[in-house]
């Protein structure tokens, strides 16, 4: 397996959904960064289950504990170990999948690849893992904060309904004011209603998260194989349920002519900038000082409360019954995950650019 992300700001994670604990080691964090458990807890609380009617009703407090790497309230340059002990587990909810495979889950592929599979709560394949990423992101965000770089993610589409405003027309301060995390209140209400309808129908629905990075200095990203957008893409595609990534003009940019798409340069307020920003703030893999923005597509959650055809480990037909407490739509809780992974990528590439 590969459980380490990043080259310089490296996060190494462990833990299964129903094991004793999950956790992350952050190696490569510079010394002297102020970090405390509250900073991290705040971000984890945005991701935690049970926070509203449109998320899973499972209750996990996800209390973070710092085991190493902080002294006198600041990082020491030593690895920072963060641990979240597991608590509200109903492993018996999962007995039915110990020998059979939930459709569109990782049960089957894990079984084939590793033979000895911890099926409880999905084991290692559970999205619970992303709590580790958010915890690491809470620390990388502190570094970005000192660099005046801000990351804003929000829900821009649920099911077939798409927010009809660009990020420039939105007030990001409003994102946390509703349970779906869309800064436009009207769309937020509609999104909530779509999700709630899916839930009532024992079904799930997909969505898109848009992420905007403001204040990124020129020069972040490596030009050939660690292009800023390629690293962001890889990070986003690592998140459970993600099916696509596009930045700047994205898939729509395909339809344009070069003369429309190109971002001409100008001098504005004494600084070089571009007149348009189809490049999404990245040229040749390197940040150019404009806003960075990208979209992440999430499929509908695979666990539904309906019967589904499946196969068991003896190659026999079986029916998978919907059980347990699950999210009808992943995007509201995925907003802090997207932000955190973007933050982890940025800090990693920022530190690389300092060599």
Instruction: Tell me: does residue 288 bind a copy of itself (CB under 8 A).
Output: yes
User: DSSP secondary structure string, 284-301?
Assistant: TTEE-SSPEEEEEEEPPP
Q: What is the dihedral of CA 65, 70, 75, 81, to 10 degrees?
A: -50
Write the interaction track for a copy of itself spanning residues 15-54; mark x where CB under 8 A is met and - where it is not: xx--xxxxx-x-xx-xxx----------------------
Choose between 71 and 165: whose C-beta lies nearer to a copy of itself.
71
* Closest-CA residue to 62 (of 75, 50, 44): 44
**In this chain, which of 43, 60, 62, 263 binds a copy of itself, going by CB under 8 A?**
263
- Tokens describing residue 335: 């907003």
Q: Which one, 38 or 173, has the nearer CB to a copy of itself?
A: 38
From candidates 41, 52, 63, 78, binder to a copy of itself by CB under 8 A: 78
Across-strand partners of 207?
Answer: 158, 298
Site string for a copy of itself, 241-260 (x = CB under 8 A): --xxxxxxxxx-xxxxxxxx
Where does residue 241 fall: left (phi above 0), alpha (psi -120 to 50 degrees), or beta otherwise? left
Which residue reads 């009207």 in tokens? 186
Structure tokens at 317: 């037909």
Piece of 41-49, 51-59, 80-88, 140-148 that binds a copy of itself (CB under 8 A): 80-88
Which of 47-55, 102-110, 134-142, 165-173 is the region at the interface with a copy of itself (rule: CB under 8 A)? 102-110
**Three-state secondary structure call for residue 337:** helix
Closest approach, Cβ 239 to a copy of itself, in A, equals: 9
Three-state DSSP string of 107-175? HHHHHHHHCCCCCHHHHHHCHHHHHHHHHHHHHHHHHHHHCCCEEEEEEEEECCEECCCCHHHCCHHHH
Least gap, CB of 28 to a copy of itself (angstroms): 7
Identify residues 151-190 at the interface with a copy of itself (CB under 8 A): 157, 159-160
Q: Return the residues of window 323-342 that contact a copy of itself according to CB under 8 A.
A: none
Q: State the number of binding residues for a copy of itself (CB under 8 A).
A: 143
- Binding characters for a copy of itself, 198-217, by CB under 8 A (x = yes): x--x-xxxxxx---------
70 C-beta neighbours (distance < 10 Å), count: 21
- By CB under 8 A, name the one of 46, 47, 58, 124 that touches a copy of itself: 124
């Amino acid at each position: 397996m590969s459980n380490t992300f990043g080259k310089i700001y490296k996060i190494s994670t462990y833990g299964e959904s129903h094991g004793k604990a999950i956790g992350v080691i952050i190696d490569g964090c510079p010394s002297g960064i102020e970090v405390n458990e509250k900073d991290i807890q705040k971000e984890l609380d945005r991701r935690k289950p049970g926070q509203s009617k449109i998320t899973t009703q499972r209750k996990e407090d996800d209390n973070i504990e710092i085991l190493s790497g902080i002294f006198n309230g600041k990082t020491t340059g030593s690895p920072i170990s963060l641990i979240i002990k597991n608590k509200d587990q109903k492993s018996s909810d999962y007995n039915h999948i110990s020998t059979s495979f939930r459709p569109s889950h990782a049960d089957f592929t894990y079984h084939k690849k590793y033979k000895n599979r911890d099926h409880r709560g999905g084991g290692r394949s559970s999205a619970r893992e992303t709590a580790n990423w958010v915890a690491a992101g809470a620390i990388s965000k502190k570094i970005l904060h000192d660099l005046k770089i801000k990351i804003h993610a929000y829900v821009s589409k649920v099911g077939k309904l798409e927010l009809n405003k660009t990020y420039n027309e939105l007030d990001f301060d409003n994102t946390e004011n509703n349970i779906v995390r869309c800064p436009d209140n009207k769309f937020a209400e509609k999104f909530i209603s779509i999700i709630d309808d899916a839930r009532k129908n024992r079904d799930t629905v997909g969505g898109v998260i848009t992420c905007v990075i403001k204040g990124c200095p020129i020069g972040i990203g490596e030009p050939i194989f660690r292009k800023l957008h390629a690293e962001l893409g890889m990070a986003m595609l690592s998140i459970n349920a993600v099916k696509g990534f596009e930045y700047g003009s994205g898939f729509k940019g395909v339809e344009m002519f070069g003369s429309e798409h190109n971002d001409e340069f100008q001098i504005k307020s004494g600084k070089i900038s571009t007149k348009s920003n189809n490049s999404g703030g990245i040229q040749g893999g390197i940040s150019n000082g404009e806003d960075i923005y990208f979209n992440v597509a999430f499929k509908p959650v695979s666990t539904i409360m309906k019967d589904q055809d499946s196969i068991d480990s003896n190659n026999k037909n079986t029916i998978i019954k919907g059980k347990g407490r699950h999210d009808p739509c992943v995007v509201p809780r995925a907003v802090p995950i997207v932000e955190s992974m973007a933050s982890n990528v940025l800090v990693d590439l920022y530190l690389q650019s300092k060599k």
